[in-house]
Structures are given as structure tokens and as C-alpha cells.
Structure 1
Amino acid sequence: MDYSQKYKEKLVSAEKAASVIKSGDWVDYGWCVGTNVAVDKALASRMPELHDVKIRGGILCHEPEIFKIENPAEHFTWNSWHMNPVERHNVNNGFVFMTPLRYSELPRLYRDMKDPLNVAICQVSPMDAHGYFNFGPCTSHMQAVVDKADVVIVEVNKNMPVCLGGTGAYIHIDQVDMVVEGENPAIDEIPAGGPASDIDKAVAELVVPEIPNGACLQLGIGGMPNAIGQMIAQSDLKDLGIHTEMYVDAFVDMANAGKITGRRKNIDQGRQTYAFGAGTKKLYDYLDNNPECMAAPVEYVNDVRTIASLDNFISINNAVDIDLFGQVNAESAGINNISGAGGQQDFVLGAYLSNGGKSFICLSSTFMNKKTGKLESRIRPTLQQGSIATDTRTNTMYIVTEFGMVNLKGLTMWQRAESLINIAHPECRDELIAEAEKMNIWRRSNKR
């Protein structure tokens, strides 16, 4: 069947597409590098005449034009599923708000939510001969968005890689109400980061020996997991598998180094499975039409049961700080959101349930407080007031700093306190001991 006529009938300008959004509407803007561009620009020009528009999105890789209008808080709210720098820098402007969730729940939230979804807009690859557009590296929850929306607008971008997968990776022209052909901007890039720091290397040198041949890997967002990935690419490991929430540049380096085969995966054998991807052009070129890579809905990828079914699952994530009870904060500085829970808790739980699995939370022992100019410990007596416990103390497994590694599973409170203080920065240990004593979690016979 020739779908070109349907395509032509639904082809509209960005201005026409933006005109369907009304005051009071709920609108979905896409996800990560799939966030729309042309319609956003058109909507920004008319947003001053609208009020109470409620927009959902997340992991913005560029600042939308609607953020730049005068007094945006008077016209719309941005409701983020997962904060990143673009979003959190606008929190104090009164129009950006965080939605707490486990990322794996997102498709269900769309299906079950009582609020309507009036308009959904996202970037896609050009339509193929069978009438399908591809969501690119943003399969994630987009099928649930499309199913919920009253009006679906796709913004075609010739630079969008076609990311092969199964259910949820595509949208058919019959599901689309409007097609917009934008200016085909380059896909947003997230830098892979500079050379690994000495601290990154020290942490990687502790984690990589814990990874067996044939392990299945997940890497979180951040410089330290990426540095560990780089070291894996240079290691002697072989037959690794990939099952990860976010596909990052380090996986490309591992694949190019011949480390990834996926032969030992219990499910999706031979496939690198992921929910979304973002990185440099190298990553997008690698994912484009690559049958080894499998884009899948996040409710499948991040499901604890899926993760647990993969033997020797290794989950590597980072954190903002951790307290002596073993609570991990990976998403806020006090009440100020930095990111979101994402899939960290799911992968921490799933890795522990995996046969031979391990989860690692990696962080530098200290950070420089920009306000005070003082070096502060990331291992704290208790989490800062208002900080979020992303991983509860009962779920935490391995904690790694440049000074060592500890497995908290099965440790009593005094053992936890002692073990965590032992991997804290030496200059911070005496103060941590004093605080542990006040909280009655320091045993007199503990090491000093």
C-alpha cells in the first residue's frame, strides 16, 4: 500500500500544528532528544496569548523556546518526569516542577492518569514505505503517550537515527493526526565527558575486577559510570551483554573494542537492550539501523523481574551522597532537585535478585562546597534535610569511593557505620565517628 497520500493529507506547518493547543490543555513535548523543535518555536510565538497550559517532558537536551518568553509562569507549567540542568535552572522561575516516580512506571502512569492528554508532539525519523515513523533513541514510554493523546503530532527530522526494536519503537501514519517537516536540526548531543579523573580511575579500578566475563551491564547517567565503561572497553573482559535504561557512548566503545556479544544473556540473546539513548553523534551513528541494538519500552527494560532474569547482572550508578545508615540520595541537594529517581532503584533491586548479580553505587568521597569554599564529605551522618532517599538502606548493596568498597548487605548498623567511615575521606572520618557515637551506631570496639 502507498501511504504517501495519507502523509500529504496530514502534512501541516508548525504554526498550524501549534494552533491546536488551547489554554488549559495538557501537552506532551516528547522525551530527551525526541523533544520537538519546530512546533515549540511556533508555540512560543503564541504562548503569550495562552494560559494554564500544562506541559510534560523530561531530560531536556536544549532549552525550549517556550522557556524564553516573557513571564513564562503566567502562561504554562513544565512538569518534568526527570530533571536535568536545563530544567532545574528554571525551577526558581516558578514554572518548572518535578514529578517523582520510578521511571519504569511511566507508561502505566499515562494509561491510568485521570488528567487528559490533549496534544502529544515528538520528533521522529522519516516515514518508511510501510507507513511507520520511528521514535529514534526514545522508545521509552512514547507508545503509551500516543495511545493516550487526543491529537498526535509528529515532527519529522531526517537526522533522527532509526532505532530498531519491537513493540513501542514505531508509530504508524494511521495513529498520527498531523505531520510537521521541521528544519532537520542535528540531534541534541550530550558530551561523553573529558578524560577520567584520578578519582574516577580509582573507583573504576575497584569495580571492574568485580565484573565476570559474560556479565550483563547497566550504566547510569554521569561521568563516573562513563569512566568505568571506558575502563571496561580497555579491559580483558569478553562476551558482555547490555541491558540498560540509558544507552551511552561507553557502550559504543565497548562494542567497538569487541567486548559485547550478548551470547550469555538469558533473554534478548545477542541484543543490546535499552529504553532510550543520548550521547554524541558517534552514538547516534552506531544505533542507526543497527540490528544488534534493541529499543524497548521502559516498563520492560526497567522491570525488576526482567533485570532479575539476567544472570550476573551488574548495575553501576552514581549518587549525590549517602548516610551512615546506607540511604542513598541520587537526585537532590536538600529540597533542590538535581535529577530524578530514574531507574536506579529498579536496577539496584533487580541486580541483587539476579543470579550472581551486583549493584554498585559509585561516588567521590568529597565535594567542594561552592558557597563555603570548604571540602565536604559525600558520606554524611544523615542525609541533608529535605534530600531524597533514592535507594533505601535495605536495598543498598556495594558502595564505592576512591578509598574503597563495601557491601552493606547483612551488616548491622555499627558495621555499616564503620565500613562507610572507612571509605570516607581520611580528613572527614573523625567527625563522622563523633556523629555516629551521638546516634548510637558506633561500637566502642570499632576501629579508630
Structure 2
Amino acid sequence: MNYIKEYQNKLMTADDAARTVKNGDFVMYPHFAIKTPLLDEALAMRKMELEDVKINFVTLTYMPEVIKADPEGEVFIFRDGSFSAATRGFCKMGIPIVAIPSLYHEAGRNYEIEQLKHDVLFLAVTPMDDKGYFNLGPSSSYIVDMIKERGGIGRSMKIFVEVNAKLPRVPGDNHVHISQVDGIIEGEPEDMMAIPKIPPTAVDKKIAEHIMSEMVDGACLQLGIGGMPNYVGSMLADSDFKDLGCHTEMFVDAYMDLYNAGKLTNKRKNIDVGKSVFTFAMGSRKLYEFLSNNLEVECRSVSYTNNPFIIAQNHNVFSICSCIAVDMMGNVSSESVGYKQISATGGQWDYHYASMHSNGGKGFVCMPSTKKDHKGNVTSNIVPSLPVGTQISVACNTTNYVVTEYGAVNIKGLSMWERVESLVSIAHPDFREEILQAAAKAGIWRRSNKR
């Protein structure tokens, strides 16, 4: 079929699209480092005409025009599925942004719930191909799940696409057909936002060394965000390990470096053999160029990439993520300190759980042993108990390896007192006795337990 006529019929201005938003509507913005600047600006211009419009982001990397237009959140209600450094900064400025607790692999299914069904979806897309498809670039996330007609969402939700000729076209199931689109806005060509690498600290390097001591040939890697996971990738690129695989939530520069070093072959994977599979990418412009039209990568829906029962079909899944704190029983928090939101569960639980069900797999949650506040006070990140209101990202009965600069311990299957001793062994020496005393007071450790 020739889709040019349908394209012309659906061509409109961003103002036309924004005028379809009604009071009380749910609007979904593109995820991560992808933007729809014209649609965002047009919706912001309607502030004085609207009430109670809920806007969902996922890991904000920029300040949208709707936030600039309504920093008090009087008209637009801002929600972020995964707090980022930008989101935290906005909150410090007094901009009301609320978190959405969720396991990432379930996010698409969550939007089948009646009260969460979206009315409008803004998408950034590549130019249409000759089959009538627009590509979503390096971000499938759960947008693809929302587009599909599962639960009737695709039939009831208006979809507006803003065409960006500079968006990389990435293989996978990250596309939308013109027949599913309600309006097309021809935007200005704009490079994707580049995310700089976070340089590893001396502590990050020590943590990475502990993980490297557990590594095996053919490991299927999930690297989380931050300096430490990327440094693991750099160490692997310079190592003798071979035939590594990639099945991950986030595709970062480290995977490109591993591929260029000949270490990332995906040959030993049990599914998607020969392919690096991910649901979104953030990194350098060089990374986006690497992904463009690369037939050795696939950007897939998060309901696929983060499904623990799909991930675990691969052998030797190594999930490497950062966390904020761990209590003496092994409960892991990666998203809040008390009620203060820092990040989100994201795919940490998905991959940590999957790694334990993968033949030879290992899940690592990593952190420095201590942190320092703005006054210079140093406290332990391994604590007797987490502050009231802290969200548990990985519960103690799921936790596998915990890693600090002092070592890596596998606490899976250990009794309470054994967990205390293992975690104390990788705590900062200045805080070990304090944790033991708290455990003794709680009745879950006594000195006679020591072997």
C-alpha cells in the first residue's frame, strides 16, 4: 500500500494535537532521553485553559515546557516513573513531582487498569518507512505495550507522533504503524540528548574488582546505571573473558566498548542468540550512532526484556546494579531514604530475581560502605534498620550478592545471624561493632554464634 495519502491526511500542527487534551486527561510523554519539543510547548501554552491534566514521564533528562509553565503544579500533575537527577533537582526547587512505584516489567500491564488508562500519548519517531511504520528509536520501554491493543488501550488512546529525522532507527519491536496514529507533527531534526559517562570513584573501582572475581566466560550481562557498572564493562573489555552476552534493561556505552573489543558476541545466549537485547538506551552520541540500523541489536518491549522468566532462560545471567542502603537482614533499598524519593525500583528486582533462576546466574547489589552528608558527617550504608518510609527494592529473602569496597558476600539462604556476620564483614570497620550491638539487642545475633 502507498501510505503517503494517509500521512498527508493525518498531518497537523502541534497546536492541533494539544487542543485534543481535555480536563482530567492522562498524557504520556516519551521516555528517557527522547523528547517531543513541539508537542510539549503546545500543551504548555494551554495552561490557562485546562484543569487536572496528569502528565507521566519516565526518568526525566530535561525540563519540559509544561513544568516551566506550571512549576506549582496547579494545572498539570507531574508524575515520574523513575526519579532521575533532573527530577530530584526539580523537587528541590519545589516543583511537585510524585513517584509511581512499580516493577518495570509490569509497567505496561499496569496501564490496563481502568484508572490508569491514558488518553493521549506523545511520541518522538523517525520518518515513516515504505511499509507505514514509524520507529521509536532506542526506547521501547512500555510504550509499545500501551500501543498494542491489549486491554483495548490502543483503541481508546489518541497517539500523536512528532517526526524527528535525526532520531536513530533501531531494530526491534519499537515501532508504531500509521494506522494506529491519530496525528503527525513534522518536527525539527534534533539530536538525542547525550548522557555523559559518570567517572568511577576509587570505591567504584574496588567494588568492580570484587565483581570481576566472580565473572565467567559467556556471562549474559545486565549493567545498571552509574560509574561502577560502566567500569565493570571497561574492565571486561580489557580482560580475557570471552563470548559475553547482553540482555539488559538499559543499553549503555560499556556494551558498545565490549563489542568493539570483541568481547560481546552473544554466541552463548540461549535466546536471541547473536543479538544484544534491551528496552532503552542512554549514553553518548557515538552510542546512538552505533545502534542506528545495527542488525545485531534489538530494542524490545520491557514486558519482554524485563520478564524474569524470559531473562532466566539465558545461562549465567549477571545482574549488576547499585543501591542506596542495605539493612542487617539483607533488605535492599535503591529508591528512597525514608519518604524522600531518590530513584525507583526500575528493573533491579526483575533482573536480581531472574539471575537467581538462571543456570549459573548471580545478582549483585553494590554500594560504597559509607556516605557523607552535606555537613561532612559519615554514616554507614549497611544499617541495623532502614528509616521509616524507606521503600524496599529487593526484599531480604530475594537478595543474592551484596558488594562494597570491602568485599562481596552471598547472603542467599543464610540464617539471620549468618546474614548479620556476612554483611558486617563488608561494612566499614568503624561501624561494624555498632551493627553487631544492634543485632544482639534485636536478638538475632550473639557472640557465641561466631565460628
For the 8 Å contact 2:127–2:164, the answer to whether it is kept is yes
Is 1:186–2:187 an aligned residue pair? no
For the 8 Å contact 1:302–1:347, the answer to whether it is kept is yes
Partner residue of 1:368? 372
Moved more, 130-139 or 46-55: 46-55
Partner residue of 1:392? 395
Moved more, 34-43 or 155-164: 34-43
Instruction: Supply the AA of the counterpart residue of 1:439.
Output: A
Is 1:142–2:143 an aligned residue pair? yes
For the 8 Å contact 1:314–1:351, the answer to whether it is kept is yes
For the 8 Å contact 2:33–2:192, the answer to whether it is kept is yes
Moved more, 246-255 or 78-87: 78-87
SS at match of 2:256: helix
Structure 1 position 157, deviation (Å): 0.8
Partner residue of 2:46? 46
1: CA distance, partners of 2:419 / 2:95 = 40
Structure 1 position 310, deviation (Å): 0.7
Structure 1 position 115, deviation (Å): 4.0
Instruction: Supply the AA of the counterpart residue of 1:349.
Output: Y
Partner residue of 1:173? 178
SS at match of 1:111: coil
Percent of residue pairs bearing the same amino acid type: 42
The two structures have a TM-score, normalised by structure 1, of 0.96
Partner residue of 1:428? 431
2: CA distance, partners of 1:427 / 1:307 = 39
Structure 1 position 182, deviation (Å): 1.6
Partner residue of 2:356? 352
Partner residue of 1:99? 100
Partner residue of 1:113? 114
Is 1:317–2:324 an aligned residue pair? no
Partner residue of 1:163? 170
Give matches, 1:279-358, under 5 Å.
279-358=283-362
Partner residue of 1:415? 418
Instruction: Supply the AA of the counterpart residue of 1:386.
Output: G
Q: Which structure 2 residue ranges, 5 or more long, are not aligned?
A: none
Structure 1 position 322, deviation (Å): 0.3
Structure 1 position 71, deviation (Å): 4.8
Partner residue of 1:84? 84
Structure 1 position 447, deviation (Å): 5.7
2: CA distance, partners of 1:110 / 1:22 = 19
Partner residue of 2:160? 153
Structure 1 position 89, deviation (Å): 3.1
Partner residue of 2:20? 20
The two structures have a TM-score, normalised by structure 2, of 0.95
2: CA distance, partners of 1:113 / 1:182 = 32
For the 8 Å contact 1:310–1:354, the answer to whether it is kept is yes
1: CA distance, partners of 2:119 / 2:101 = 22
SS at match of 1:5: helix
Superposed CA offset, 1:111-139 (max 9, x none): 33344422110111111121110011111
SS at match of 1:55: strand
For the 8 Å contact 2:208–2:232, the answer to whether it is kept is yes
Moved more, 305-314 or 226-235: 226-235
2: CA distance, partners of 1:235 / 1:225 = 15
For the 8 Å contact 1:418–1:446, the answer to whether it is kept is no
Q: Which structure 1 residue ranges, 5 or more long, are not aligned?
A: none
Q: Number of paired residues?
A: 444
Structure 1 position 143, deviation (Å): 2.1
Moved more, 29-38 or 350-359: 29-38
Instruction: Supply the AA of the counterpart residue of 1:126.
Output: P
Partner residue of 2:222? 218
Is 1:380–2:383 an aligned residue pair? yes
Structure 1 position 332, deviation (Å): 0.7
Instruction: Supply the AA of the counterpart residue of 1:52.
Output: D
2: CA distance, partners of 1:15 / 1:185 = 20
Moved more, 202-211 or 321-330: 202-211
1: CA distance, partners of 2:352 / 2:315 = 14
Superposed CA offset, 1:162-197 (max 9, x none): 11013xx11111111111112222211221112x22
SS at match of 1:294: strand
For the 8 Å contact 2:201–2:227, the answer to whether it is kept is no
1: CA distance, partners of 2:116 / 2:390 = 29
